[in-house]
A = this chain, B = another copy of it.
């Protein structure tokens, strides 16, 4: 049974959470569904709790991540701001790149033979 490295990454500003894997997943679901309420549902969160997480990220970042259209036949919808979209994409590249770095470092430092 091989030993495997694992990592969790997140971003902070002034010691406060700005983006995490979990929160980026939530923002991606907003992107996919066009709705924070639907994203919340798929994350198993109440709308109130999902909204709280978005506000917290925006506050900690000091910039808006979500644009919400009020009203309309379906009660409006949400989408990411250009900054939100850019941050989500950068975070995913960052995470993928680190995963690769981690596997490389692990193999070189722990002298692990691949099976």
Contact = CB atoms under 8 A, between A and B. Distances in A.
A110 B89 CA distance: 10
A102 interface: yes
B6 A6 contact: no
Chain A contact residues, majority secondary structure: mixed
Question: How many copies altogether?
Answer: 2
Interface in A1-24: 1-14, 18
Interface string A98-115: 100110011001100000
Interface of A: 1-14, 18, 61-62, 90, 93-94, 97-98, 101-102, 105-106, 109-110
- Give the 7 A-B CB pairs with smallest separation, nearest first: A101-B101, A7-B9, A8-B8, A1-B14, A97-B105, A3-B13, A94-B109
